[in-house]
Homo-oligomer: A and B are copies of this chain.
Amino acid sequence: MARKSEAERRQELIAATINEIGSTGTLNVTTSQIAKSAGVSPGLAFHYFQDKEGLFLAAMRSILSEYGNDVRQALRGKKTADERLEAIAEASFGMTSFRREAISAWVNFYALSLRSEPARRLLYVYQRRLHSNLVDALRPKIGVRAPDVARRIAGLIDGLYLRYALDTRSINVIDAETHQLDGAEGSQHVMRAIAAECAEISENDVISTEQVDPDPTAILVGPQE
């Protein structure tokens, strides 16, 4: 009965949660499974988290902040617009996000956010951050068109991720050392799309002029309490 600090235990339980979601591919994981995977007794999970949803939300925060750290680190030192865009794209398809557990967690958290308001809010934060990162990097290249284009690029990143996520091959390939392969393909697609959007003659307006200036993240915003 080794005793550990609250922070340690919480972290272990969160990691175990993500692992179990990863290996079962679903949120239908029992607290006992999670506890066992964390090497603790079934009751302990409820000492550190209010209930199962609390555990899920903590796991979600963990995944999101992991991704956030990846992006931040990738951006470090990148000066040119293209470098920064590539950093974002690569972080989105990097090893961290492409672990089997991370994929399973992402997809299941999307589903969770349909029934859990807190979960929805967390995803909203992620979406806003991604959009804002993209706008910052795009603005030097295309100015006022950045927010509009950023929406499409953000959508493309999510969509491609989802497609690769369901392609079991990419997961296996990761396991087999060539880890960057599929991720690289994903980020190349993203860079290609960015190139196309930026090359275009910027005569045309943005899709919806009205909402682009006042609130660049309009379409991502849900009803705020």
Contacts and interface: CB of A to CB of B under 8 A. Distances in A.
Interface string A204-225: 1001100000000001111100
Nearest to A110: B107
B223 A207 contact: no
A155 interface: yes
B200 A152 contact: no
A114 to B, nearest CB: 4
Nearest to A26: B115
Given A157-B159, A162-B159, A115 B201 contact: no
A185 interface: yes
Question: Quick one: copies of this chain in the complex?
Answer: 2
Question: What are the 8 closest A-B residue pairs judged by CB atoms, nearest first?
Answer: A159-B159, A25-B114, A25-B115, A155-B159, A158-B159, A155-B160, A196-B196, A111-B111
Nearest to A211: B185
6 contacts: A110-B111, A127-B163, A151-B189, A159-B161, A196-B196, A196-B200
Contacts of A110: 107, 110-111, 162, 166
A24 B111 contact: no
Interface of A: 24-28, 103-104, 107-108, 110-111, 113-115, 120, 123-124, 127, 148, 151-152, 154-164, 166-169, 172, 185, 188-189, 192-193, 195-197, 199-201, 204, 207-208, 219-223
B168 A120 contact: yes
A116 to B, nearest CB: 8
Given A152-B156, A159-B158, A192 B207 contact: yes
B167 A221 contact: yes
